[in-house]
Structure formats: C-alpha cells, structure tokens
Amino acid sequence: MKNLFLALGASAVLIGTPILSPPQAQDKTRPIANLQAQGWKVIHKSEEKKELPGVAPYQDLKRIVQVIHYRLEKGDGLMICEATYDSQRERYDETCRSGSH
C-alpha cells in the first residue's frame, strides 16, 4: 500500500497535477469569470478611469485607478460586479453583490 501511494505521488509530481485538489475548485479572486462560467451573461459594462495623486515615493506621478462596472444576469437573477486596477499599487480586485432589477 505504501508503494502505491509513493507511485501515485511520484506520478502526480511528474505530471504536475496535485492528487488531492478539489475537482470544482474556483478562484475566489475572479468572481466575474466564475459567474460567467456558471452561465451568467454580461448585460452591461462601463468603464471609468480616475486620476489620483501618486503614492510615495512616486508622489510626483499620476496614479491611475481603472474601474470597470458589470451587470450580469441569469434567469431572474442580477449580479452587480466591479473590477478595479490601481496602477501604482499594481493591485487588481473584483467584487460582486446581488442586485435587483
């Protein structure tokens, strides 16, 4: 039995796939893509860019924050999502919440 586990572990390492990963694991940091994979459709998308003061040590540079607003629909359901990218902090975030028509 021990040899079987060693062989399976070695095979997984060679193949590059973990043995005990959940089959339906979803990336929690990408809820918009996860919703689309579940059949939600983007019905509206808008974008805005905000210019903010730079953060030290780059206080003399413009800091651009890009915000993309999404409305997704599936059946009678509505989700409101926002994707934000901050150029100086090199940070990308997505948030979603339930909405109403």
Identify whether 67 is part of a domain: yes
Nearest CA among 63, 64, 72, 76 for reference residue 95: 72
- Report the alpha-carbon angle 45-91-23, nearest 5: 75
- pLDDT digit string (tens) for 28-48? 679 999 999 999 999 999 999
CA distances 65 to 1, 39, 80, 81, Å, are: 55, 29, 19, 16
Identify whether 33 is part of a domain: yes
Structural domain boundaries enclosing 93: 26-98
Model pTM score: 0.68
Identify whether 85 is part of a domain: yes
Identify whether 11 is part of a domain: no
Residue 91 has pLDDT above 80, yes or no: yes
